[in-house]
Structure formats: structure tokens, C-alpha cells
Structure 1
Amino acid sequence: MAEIQIKEQVNGKKTTIKKGIHVDMTPMVDLGFLLITFFMFTTNFSKPNVINFSNPPKNTGLPTEIDYRNQITFILGKEGKVFYYQSDKKDLNGKSLKEVSFDKFQVAKTIESAKANAPRKEIFTVIVKPADDSKYKTLVDMLDELTLTKSERYGISEMNDKEKELYENKIQ
């Protein structure tokens, strides 16, 4: 609190003793903490960026086996390498597995061209198969590409033995 100035008489004259003003800052500190608390509770914190995965609806009537012309499969490898193929499982060989990169939207262009050539575009599916030595960043980049191309039907799966063998041959 502020101090009061006291008037005293010295030699018959009234003199004012001037003391420095002292303000008690305790209520100000309390007010400051109340304001900080108020703004912390009323502020919108940044929302985390999450990828929404949803399970496919049950009993859609659509076939579970998809013709290879209505799908494209991407294999995510080490060091950000991406391979793709669009062929039947029994016809899969080293020539059908091709490499593509994320530079200049090449993955997006590959998805768009495969979708354009699909006989049934409404069920076109992208299958993503990360290898054991692939990085998480590569998978996130691939999911970003699927978002850019507005691919609603996609799945993440494990590689089968034939795909693992072809992948190992490609990275050597």
C-alpha cells in the first residue's frame, strides 16, 4: 500500500517530510498470474496433424479380389526409394517392378495415369507395402501423395515372398 505523508512542526513551522512512495506489488503479481491463467485456458492450442484411417464398411457387396488393372501396388524401400507395379501376381517379375520418386510429383502422376487406364475407376485401389528397412517418413509421404490424388480406396499391407525377393534384387 502507499504510505501517508506526515506533517511535523519544526521550530514553529509546519514542514512536510517527503518520503519516497512505496507501492506494494503483491496484488499486481496476483493479477498477473490470474491473467496468464485466463489466457492459457482460453487460447486455442495448435491441433495435432493426424492421418485418419478408417476401416472399410462391412458387406459392401464389392469383390474382395480386385483385378490388377484396377489397382496399383507401391513398395516403399530404404532411403526413400519407391517401387511400383501393376501386373497380375503370377506375372510379377523384375521388369514389372519399376522405380519412381517423390520428386516433381512423379508418384502422383503414376497414380493418376494408372487410374485413368483402369477399367472401373470407381473401385481403383492403391496398395502400399512398406519394406522392413523403409522409414516412417516415406510412408507419411506416400499417404500425402494419396491425399493429393484424392485416392479414397487404399490399403497398407505386408509384402509377400515374391515381392520381397524382387525388392531385394532391385536394391542391390
Structure 2
Amino acid sequence: MCDVAFLLITFFMLTTTLQRPKTMDLFLPKDVDNPEEQNKVKESQALTILVGEKNKIYYYEGTGENVSKDPVNLLKPSTYDLQSGIGKVISDKWKSVIQNSGGRDSMIVIIKPTDSSSYNNVVTLLDDMNIYSVKKYALVDISDNDKKLIDIKEQGQPQANANAAQ
């Protein structure tokens, strides 16, 4: 009986698959001293996602040069839903970039979490990049201008009042 038990244990140990590690490969760019040497992003190929507090998420198309002109209309809220929320936004932008630019790898997503955003929400967005096969994405510190845009959007102020406040 011991021989049969030993053979069964050995058989099951050798035929079972071990759990694979759940990690994501990240490729980090080199640090450069000169800002002109950094990679530039085309406005038409970029999607910027702002991760706010209390599971709030905002996005705008481009790198943000035109958003400060009309933040109430250009900065759009979303949800973390894959079918109707940020997943649909990523999918639509990806299709648009493929049609206009002709390349599958030319889209870049810029993720900017705030100091009060949750770690879980950032990991969810990184998972979405993997789900939608986005090859180029960057996790960037949020700028003061983006924080102001979120405040303006949450307050719903018209742009004239926002400019007067500055």
C-alpha cells in the first residue's frame, strides 16, 4: 500500500502545473538630462487618464494642451467599467488611431493618478492596458494644471469664472 501511495503522490506532483506568477513586464525609458531628447507624443495619438479620489476617473484626448481652454466640456468623467466606461474609451481611441495613423502601436495612454487616488484603481487601469493590448502607456505624476482641471470639472464652473479665479 505504501508503494502505491508513494507512486500516486509522485505522479500527481509531476503532472500538476504550478501557479504562474501574476506580474506584468514594465519597460522603463532611459533618463535623459536634456528635455529635447525625450520622446514626443503626437496630440492625435494620445489619451490622458486622470485618476481621482473616491473612484473618480476623468479623461481627455491628447496631452492636455487644448483642455485648459474649455475644461468643463473637454475633460470627461468615466467609470472603471470595461464595456461602457474607460474600457470603451480606450477601445474607441485605439480604433481611431489605427484608422488615422495606420499603426497599431502608435497610440499612447498617459495615466496620471492624484495623491489621493487608490492603488487598486491604478492597477485596474494597468490591467486595462493589458486587456486592450495597448503597447505604449506611461504612468506620470499629475501636474498642478490637471489638478485644477479636476477641481473645475467637479465644481462645474464655467471657464470665465475659472480664469477670473486665477
Alignment TM-score > 0.5, same fold = yes
Candidates 13, 25, 46, aligned match of 1:52: 25
Q: CA deviation at 1:90?
A: 3.1
1:33 equivalent in structure 2:
none
Candidates 120, 134, 139, aligned match of 2:101: 120
Kindly report the root-mean-square deviation, in angstroms, between the aligned alpha carbons of the 2 structures.
3.2
CA distance in 2, matches of 1:88, 1:150: 20
Query: In proportion to residue count, which structure has more helix?
Result: 2
Candidates 36, 45, 58, aligned match of 1:83: 58
Q: CA deviation at 1:126?
A: 0.7
**Secondary structure of the residue that 1:80 maps to in structure 2?**
coil
Identical aligned residues as a percent: 25
CA distance in 2, matches of 1:121, 1:158: 30
CA distance in 2, matches of 1:126, 1:120: 15
> Deviations along 1:132-163, whole A, 9 cap, x unmatched?
11000001111111111110111110112211
Q: CA deviation at 1:120?
A: 2.1
Return the TM-score normalized by structure 2. Answer: 0.67
Contact 2:45 2:62 in 1 (8 A): no
Q: CA deviation at 1:81?
A: 1.2
Q: Flag the 1:78–1:117 CA change in 2: closer, same or farther, 3 A.
A: same
CA distance in 1, matches of 2:17, 2:128: 29
1:70 equivalent in structure 2:
45
Structure 2 residue runs without a partner (length 5+): 1-8, 32-37, 156-166
Structure 1 residue runs without a partner (length 5+): 1-35
Moved over 4 A (4+): 42-45
Which of these two proteins has the greater Rg computed from alpha carbons? 1
